[in-house]
Amino acid sequence: MSAGRLGLPGLGHAPEGGGRYVGGASRRDRAKGLAFQAVLLFSVVIGFVTLIALLVDVANDGLGKLSWDFISSFPSSLPSRAGIQSPLVGTIMLMVLVALFTVPIGVGAALYLEEYADKNRWYNRAIEINIQNLAAVPSIVYGILGLAFLVRGLELGRVLLAGALTLTLLVLPIVIIASREAIRAVPASIREGALALGATRWQMIRRQVLPAAIPGIATGSILALSRAIGETAPLIMIGAIVFVPFNPTSLDSAFTALPIQIFNWTTRPQEDFKLLAAAAIIVLLALLLTMNAFAIWLRNRYQRRW
């Protein structure tokens, strides 16, 4: 912005009658600025109000049903006796398995791409673009893959392992991308410092880069898991069974999960099941928000300013 526009005489290249021009322009600019600010505020309000409305609605319906009995009972065809023990246990076991599968593979892939891959080679660039695209593939497509390849192709059946592997495929690209960002944030000077002391590349990665990147990797992985936790479509696609009145005990147990149970209850005609669904939604949301809060705490706790 030239000095003339600030109304400083003789400094800028204001035209004849610069004073009038300066005043008009800045009033117009100020109005534009205010209008823009109002639009932005409105956008925030829309998102916020929607969220609050949803929460209030769900809480209204569901809080009455929420009790220890609700959490510890198995699903039942009688609304008064139905609970969410098996779907809750199913969801937690899915999460544990998905974390066990995705984190090592995701971090390994990220380390390869960041530390070893020669970016000048076409196949490394192809892998990179593919991973980015995979992160954007709709989850139902992973469900179809899981059904065709895992459930039928490998004949795993509609079991816990098949569900966990399907969700693993779904969140793996997200974990890889998040881990790469965390690894890339470790400055080159740390790598050079380690190598200059006679460390091998692996020692440098293992003892300096990875420890420095772990908070970022953990945050990204938890956020990815919390996406997996809410996924319904792929699990329904591979045919997770909707009525399972027992907990999964092994990798080849039949299983259900919270979103599937919620989906199932909302399709029932009885009003009571809708209230149960709302209560289950509260549990799922609480689980989700806890994970996200933990991820944020982790990020703030270990955030580094290099």
Partner 1 sequence: MPTEQMAEPRPRPVPVMPRTERPTTHVETRRPGDAPLERAEPIFEVRDVAVTYDDSPAVRNISLDVHRNHITALIGPSGCGKSTLIRCFNRMNDLISGATVEGSILYHGQDLYGPGVDPVEVRKLIGMVFQKPNPFPKSIYDNIAFGPRVIGMNGDMDGIVERALRRAALWEEVKDRLKENAYRLSGGQQQRLCIARCLAVEPDVILMDEPCSALDPIATSRIEDLMLELKTRYSIVIVTHNMQQAARVSDMTAVLMPEVRDGDTTVGHIVEYAETNKIFTNPDNQRTEEYITGRVG
Q: Is 164 in the site for partner 1 (CB under 8 A)?
A: no
Which residue of 199, 233, 251, 298 would you call a contact of partner 1, by CB under 8 A? Answer: 199
Pairwise CA distance, residues 287 & 228, whole Å: 12
Nearer CB in complex with partner 1: 95/212 = 212
Collapsing DSSP to helix, strand or coil, 144 comes out as helix
Nearest CA to 219 out of 301, 284, 156, 150 is that of 301
Considering only residues 243 through 282, tell me which ones interact with partner 1, judged by CB under 8 A.
none
Pairwise CA distance, residues 141 & 85, whole Å: 29
Which residue of 120, 136, 269, 271 would you call a contact of partner 1, by CB under 8 A? Answer: 120
Q: Is 122 in the site for partner 1 (CB under 8 A)?
A: no
| Helical axes 271-302 vs 210-229, angle rounded to 10° | 170
Q: Looking at this protein, which amino acid is placed at residue 1?
A: M
Which residue of 15, 23, 138, 193 would you call a contact of partner 1, by CB under 8 A? Answer: 193
Nearer CB in complex with partner 1: 92/199 = 199
The distance of closest approach from Cβ of residue 205 to partner 1 in the complex, given in angstroms and rounded to an integer, is 12
Task: For residue 75, give every residue at least 6 positions away whose Cβ sits within 8 Å of its Cβ, in sequence order, or none.
Answer: 82, 83, 84, 86, 87, 243, 244, 245, 256, 261
Which residue of 26, 200, 267, 300 would you call a contact of partner 1, by CB under 8 A? Answer: 200
Collapsing DSSP to helix, strand or coil, 242 comes out as coil
Considering only residues 204 through 243, tell me which ones interact with partner 1, judged by CB under 8 A.
207-208, 211-212
Nearer CB in complex with partner 1: 44/197 = 197
Which residue of 194, 210, 238, 278 would you call a contact of partner 1, by CB under 8 A? Answer: 194
Which residue of 13, 196, 269, 301 would you call a contact of partner 1, by CB under 8 A? Answer: 196
Pairwise CA distance, residues 66 & 48, whole Å: 25
| Helical axes 85-111 vs 271-302, angle rounded to 10° | 30
Task: For residue 162, give every residue at least 6 positions away whose Cβ sits within 8 Å of its Cβ, in sequence order, or none.
Answer: 146, 150, 151, 156, 238
The distance of closest approach from Cβ of residue 111 to partner 1 in the complex, given in angstroms and rounded to an integer, is 17
Q: Which two tokens stand for residue 134?
A: 């995979």
Nearer CB in complex with partner 1: 13/305 = 305
Q: Which two tokens stand for residue 282?
A: 């509260």
> Segment near partner 1 (CB under 8 A), from 130-138, 173-181, 197-205, 252-260?
197-205
> Segment near partner 1 (CB under 8 A), from 99-107, 170-178, 203-211, 258-266?
203-211
The answer to whether the beta carbons of residues 238 and 143 sit under 8 Å apart is yes
Task: For residue 100, give every residue at least 6 positions away whose Cβ sits within 8 Å of its Cβ, in sequence order, or none.
Answer: none
Which residue of 203, 249, 267, 300 would you call a contact of partner 1, by CB under 8 A? Answer: 203
Pairwise CA distance, residues 283 & 275, whole Å: 13
> Segment near partner 1 (CB under 8 A), from 67-75, 184-192, 233-241, 274-282?
184-192
Nearer CB in complex with partner 1: 33/193 = 193
Residues in touch with partner 1 (CB under 8 A): 118, 120, 187, 189-190, 192-200, 203, 207-208, 211-212, 304
